[in-house]
Structure 1
Amino acid sequence: MTARRPTASAGPGADGALAFVTVTVGDLRLALPLADVRAVIRLPDLVRIPLGPPSLDGLAQWHGEAVPVLDLSLALGRQGGGRQRGAGRGTRETRVVLVGHRGQPVGLRVDAMAGILRTAPGRIDPVTEEDGGLDPAMLDGVLRDGPATILKLDALIDRQFGDMVEDADRPALRPSAGPADVGTSASGPASGRDGARDAPALLVFGVAGQEFALPVDRVREVLPAPHEVARMARAKAHLLGVMAVRDRLLPLVDLRALFGLAADGNAPGEAAGRRVVVVRAGDGRAPVGVLVDEVREILRLDRALIDPVPPLLAREPEFEDLDGIARVDGGRRLVSVLSAERLFRHGAALGAEGNGAGNGEGIAMEPARAGDGVAGAERFVVFRLAGAEYGLPVAVVREVLRRPDHVTPLPNAPDFVTGVLTLRGEVLPLIDQRRLLHLPALDAGARVGRSAGAERGRVVAVGREGADAARVGLLVDGLSGLLTVAAERIGPAPAVSAAQRRLIRRVATLETAGGAARLILLMDADGLLDMDRLADLHGPALPVSPG
């Protein structure tokens, strides 16, 4: 048997030598053609993407692109190596080798990088059945100078994403409708049969145990709270200072101090789940950030359920910041609706304290250009699921509700349909996103330390208007809030399976205020609304690790 030549991508040099990057995986020493290697990096933060092969660790952000990362040990069938998918942060030596595969970068997680080796083609021996117990179809020879086994990268990666090759000729679903494709926005006509066509959408958040809201159309985005805030001299107590957002400064208002609520003594980013709601003032004026404890839900309420502030209270200065009080759940909950204009004036006052100009232009964030009617930008409702963040276009999200205590079972339904919920006289099938996406169930241990409302999760009501109108409710772990994403930050999601490609078509690659990578998986609303197609895609469960 003659020696198997390495692929042309190994890149022979002027002297005819072939170059390889050598790595270790468990007790294996492997060689990757240097010409296929784009970079070798430390193990980055990973975001789990559902419906992928068992060897898929998750997605990493690299140079603004979402890259699937495979655990090479599991891809080679070495389950006995002691690692499971997504296992920990690895060691100081753990590396990810980024290689090119059919025009898409793919990361390979290895235990360590051994070095770079150059060898003559004549010093490559053939592969035998006994070489490391590996499948010879994924190998390209054995380097005598290593010794190291050469991996056939295309064969290895194709085997992990094999169904994508088979599915390449199938028609794709049409993209989810964006702001330019849907006639009604999240703040537009309600979808219920009660005829409340002008019910406004409100983003509800909690501060010191009380509930406040802002109209969704006045919220630009919701961001994680920064760990540090630059405070301004002589500013009032409720004017926290400024935070950096995309290289600009955003004035920050503290609702606890503004309304005289109990202070918790923590820095802005120290309390878990704390968020900054970025408020659009309109008329080209710069946005203002409002620090809140948690984002709870998005509600649509008939305007008759939003009462003006009682005249006796309206005389008090602290109530000038309210536009009204909403009666929710039959009046059992009262939600204070904030005035975006008043919050803007607070932000402008902070700018005046900081630069003496009196108009805030020297310190305020740039005018909201993404999601404020500028072509190309999109707004999403972002929710949490199994440690990752997912997004749906604001235009297709009707409401985000607390998960009900009781759900009516639906006989003979697919196992990912937990039952039905009645919303304003309309019956919504409830889809358990964890089951649908083959994610691990949320066990009791994961709920420790959560509030009762957080334990139940949330229901994201998704709807489509027109002759083919459809409605579903998606069960998720929690609501992150609203997010505006510029067009250049949205790209196609790496294709890891046929089912994933039909449900998760795009991904937003962002950075947090601290510079860390943030990936948001953008779901296709049309795919979620087609129950027959969902049942076909669901199929048998993929093996997953506990999480």
Structure 2
Amino acid sequence: MEVLETPASATAMPPADASDEQFAEAARLAAAKKQAPPVNAAGSELFGSFLLGRDEFSLPASCIREVVNYPEKMSTLPLSPPFLEGMFTLRGTVIPVINLARLFKPDADASNPSQVIAIIDFEQVLVGILFDTTGEILRVRPEQRSTLYYEGENVHGVIAGTILLAGGSRLLQILDASALIHIENVPQVLALRAANQKQSDLHFKTQNARRQCVSFHVGASSFAFEMEAIQEIIRVPELQPSILNSKLCLGRINFRGTQVGVVDFSTLLNAPRAEQQATPDQRIVLARIGDASVGFLVDSVDSIISFFSSELLPIPLLSKARAGMFGGCISQPGVGEIIFLNHHEIFSRTEIVEMRRGHSNLYPEEEKLAGQSQGAAQGQREAKKIQRRVYISFQLENTFAVEIRQIREIIDFSDNFIRPPGMPACMLGILNLRQQMISIIDLRGLYQMPPLADTAQAKILIVERGDERYGLLVDAVEDIMTIADNNRFPTPKLARNASSTDLRSEMEEVVDIIAEDGTRRTLSVFECEAFLQRLAREMPENGQLQ
């Protein structure tokens, strides 16, 4: 048997750091050879070869989209099988990455940045396979191939057959893409992709399509809940023990007269935390799911993110475990991939009923006493139809509160600004945020405060006024809290001084809150419109705010 190893039969695959044009050219040459095979190569097929350790594997060239270097950031996808290394975004598409070594040997080493990723196309969904290096593009005749058969009609191994070259001294294992990749939600991925495509031309213009979510960290992964799902975010109080028969339930808290179960999010993701002791950054995110309130213990609450529906990228899933909870992926420059959660699908209906009714049935006296202690005040609030509003507290020398509806989003501080000449002293520069120009205002400079020494915790609050967008640099963002309107009061006139440079002197209202330790705090309420009026006075006559 003659093996075709001449240049006409083996085309070198471009290196992993090659440009898209080089990959495209290699694919064009391979396709040209396939369309015009030599006479003695009738029925031959093109394969791409890859090395993993001492083994050589191959995949049909028709399913290989491209080969890329290992990404700078690989995000962990929870509840995934052990061989799924993680995911990353490539030109607006979420790519799950399979560690082939762990597929064969579960305790094999994790991936490393020196490896390459072969992107294969499976039912119009892209998936990455980890290899050590690329090899060649080979033209293989039928007699050089053998097919493996497995016992049982429904048994399919990931090795579809072998290729023998060099007189039998070179063996390549053929990978079966369809057996290797079990994408559970292909229809949902394609449907979401099609819907997003229709909106792509409008998502910068259609203001009502914008959505907001709150992002948080659990372990190495970043997640987000839609704003409408969140009732409140609180520091971790002392959790009451619960005898509720659920592995998910960490304990319970009394939330305004109702016993609410607290779920450790890391346990929900099947990734128990190594350290059970609470840390200062941990928070409980209280979410409304169906007709039940559920608390989620998370490692930290990070930011508020504004996005359009068309920016939500579908995630190809390799597991059915709570698959409905993964609503998509939001890719943020400098942050990475944020897994957007569909809060309606996190729990089964049985789990929700168990947590909602279970605590009420197990601890009726505590709930009754709590309800009695709050009954009179609650009746007054209902009689007056007093509303509750969600606020963000932030630091700028002192602590302030601002209604969350006045903030479009919150981003980490970055000095990657454009600095046009002739800017007012209070302007740091202009930031390009997802193709929208944001004027960054230094609040410390505006109110004659000393510069912030450490910007590690600094954040930028994005606000809008008509078509203009401004970023307000603050020292840090603390909490998200819900406060009733009857705890909001006018600022005493003696405390207001129009000539003062103290930011608090310009605030017309304050809110009264009770901290976790029972102490009361009074925070000045930051009003964006009043601030913009102050900013307009500081701008030159041809400034944008005039």
Query: Given the two structures, how large is their TM-score scaled by the length of structure 2?
Result: 0.52
Q: Is contact 1:384–1:478 with CA below 8 Å preserved after alignment? A: yes
Report the equivalent of 2:458. Answer: 457
The aligned counterpart of 1:256 is 266
Q: What amino acid does structure 2 have at the position aligned with 1:342? A: I
- Alpha-carbon deviation of 1:260? 1.8
Q: Aligned residue for 2:224? A: 213
Higher deviation after alignment, 357-366 or 304-313? 357-366
Are the aligned partners of 1:370 and 1:484 in contact in 2 as well (CA < 8 Å)? no
**In 2, are the aligned partners of 1:508 and 1:521 still within 8 Å (CA)?**
yes
Q: What is the alpha-carbon distance in structure 2 between the residues aligned to residue 248 and residue 292 of structure 1?
A: 21
Partner of 1:412: 422
Range moving further from structure 2, 413-422 or 301-310: 301-310
**Alignment match, 1:497:** 497
Kindly tell me: are residues 515 and 502 of structure 1, through their superposed partners in 2, closer, same or farther at Cα, counting changes over 3 Å? closer
Deviations 1:207-229 (CA, angstroms, capped at 9, x unpaired): 11311111112212221221x10
Q: Which amino acid aligns with 2:285?
A: V
**1:325-340 paired onto structure 2 within 5 Å:** 325-329=329-333, 332-340=336-344
Match of 1:518 among 521, 528, 532: 521
Change (3 A) 1:239 1:534: farther
Distance 1:292 1:309 in 2: 22
Residues 526 and 331 of structure 1: CA distance in aligned 2, closer, same or farther (over 3 Å): closer
Question: Could you tell me how far 1:496 is from its partner in structure 2?
Answer: 3.9
1:310 aligned residue (299, 316, 333): 316
Paired residues, what number? 327
Cα–Cα, structure 1 residues 404 and 301, in superposed 2: closer, same or farther, change >3 Å?
Answer: same
Name which of structure 1's ranges 242-251 and 429-438 shifts more when overlaid on structure 2: 242-251
Aligned to 1:518, the other structure's residue is in SS state: strand
Displacement of 1:506 in angstroms is 1.5
| 2:294 aligned partner | 288
Who wins on radius of gyration, i.e. which is larger? Answer: 2
Letter paired with 2:515: T
The question of whether the paired residues in 1 share the 8 Å contact of 2:496 and 2:507 is answered with: no
Contact 1:351 1:360 in 2 (8 A): no
Aligned residue type for 2:458: G
Q: In structure 1, what is the equivalent of residue 240 of structure 2?
A: 230
1:265 corresponding residue in structure 2: 275
Conserved 8 A contact 1:471-1:529:
no
Check whether the contact 2:252–2:262 (CA below 8 A) recurs between aligned residues: yes
**Whole-Å separation in 1 of the counterparts to 2:355 and 2:479:** 25
Query: More deviation in 470-479 or 526-535?
Result: 526-535
Tell me the SS of whatever aligns to 2:346. helix
Instruction: Call closer, same or farther: CA 1:512–1:349 in 2, change over 3 Å.
Output: farther
Taking a change above 3 Å as real, the CA distance of residues 376 and 286 of structure 1, as seen in their structure-2 partners, is: same
Equivalent-residue separation in structure 2 for 1:219 and 1:290 (angstroms): 11
Q: Are the counterparts in 2 of residues 305 and 326 from structure 1 also a CA contact under 8 Å?
A: yes
The alpha-carbon distance between structure 1 residues 369 and 486, as it changes in their structure 2 partners (threshold 3 A), is farther
Residues 16-52 of structure 1: CA deviation (Å, up to 9, x unaligned): xxxxxxxxxxxxxxxxxxxxxxxxxxxxxxxxxxxxx
For 1:478 and 1:256, how far apart are their aligned partners in 2? Answer: 26
Q: Which residue identity lines up with residue 219 of structure 1 in the other structure?
A: I
SS in 2 for 1:528: helix
Q: Partners in 1 of 2:399 and 2:343 — Cα distance?
A: 29
The two structures, once aligned, show a CA RMSD in angstroms of: 3.9
Please state whether the residue corresponding to 1:530 is helix, strand or coil.
helix
8 Å CA contact 2:392–2:481 kept in 1: the answer is yes
Maintained 8 Å contact 1:351/1:358: no
How far apart are the structure 2 equivalents of 1:272 and 1:231?
21
Q: How far did 1:526 drift?
A: 0.7
2:478 corresponds to? 480
Cα distance between partner residues in 2 of 1:219 and 1:370: 25
Cα drift, residue 473 of structure 1:
0.7
Q: Secondary structure at the match of 1:488?
A: helix
- Counterpart of 2:251 in structure 1: which amino acid? G
From 350, 355, 366, the equivalent of 1:350 is 355
Deviation at 1:316, TM superposition (A): 1.6
- Structure 2 CA distance for partners of 1:229 and 1:405, relative to 1, 3 Å: same
Q: Distance in 2 between matches of 1:200 and 1:431?
A: 24
Alignment CA distance shift 1:230-1:388 (3 Å):
farther
Q: 2-side partners of 1:424 and 1:286: how far apart?
A: 36
Aligned-pair CA distance for 1:331: 9.8
Q: 1:427 to 1:261 in 2, by over 3 A?
A: same
Q: Which residue of 1 aligns with 2:303?
A: 297
Identity %: 21
CA, structure 1 residues 194+212, in 2 after alignment: closer, same or farther (shift >3 Å)?
same
Q: Which one has more relative contact order, counting CA pairs under 8 Å at least 6 apart? A: 1
Aligned partners of 1:210 and 1:360: how far apart in 2? 39
Three-state SS of the structure 2 residue aligned to 1:256 is helix
Match of 2:408 among 363, 378, 398: 398
Between the aligned partners of 2:365 and 2:347, the Cα distance in structure 1 is: 13
Cα offset for 1:396? 2.1
Give 2:438's aligned residue: 428
Q: Distance in 2 between matches of 1:328 and 1:512?
A: 33
> Aligned AA for 2:220?
G
Tell me if structure 2 keeps the 8 A contact 1:192–1:424. Answer: no
User: Which SS does the other structure have where 1:435 is aligned?
Assistant: helix
Q: Give the TM-score normalised by structure 1.
A: 0.52
- For residue 438 of structure 1, report the CA deviation from its aligned partner: 3.9
Q: Between 381-390 and 428-437, report the one with greater CA deviation.
A: 381-390
Q: Mark the CA change 1:425 to 1:531 in structure 2 (over 3 Å): closer, same or farther.
A: farther
Partner AA of 2:433 in structure 1: L
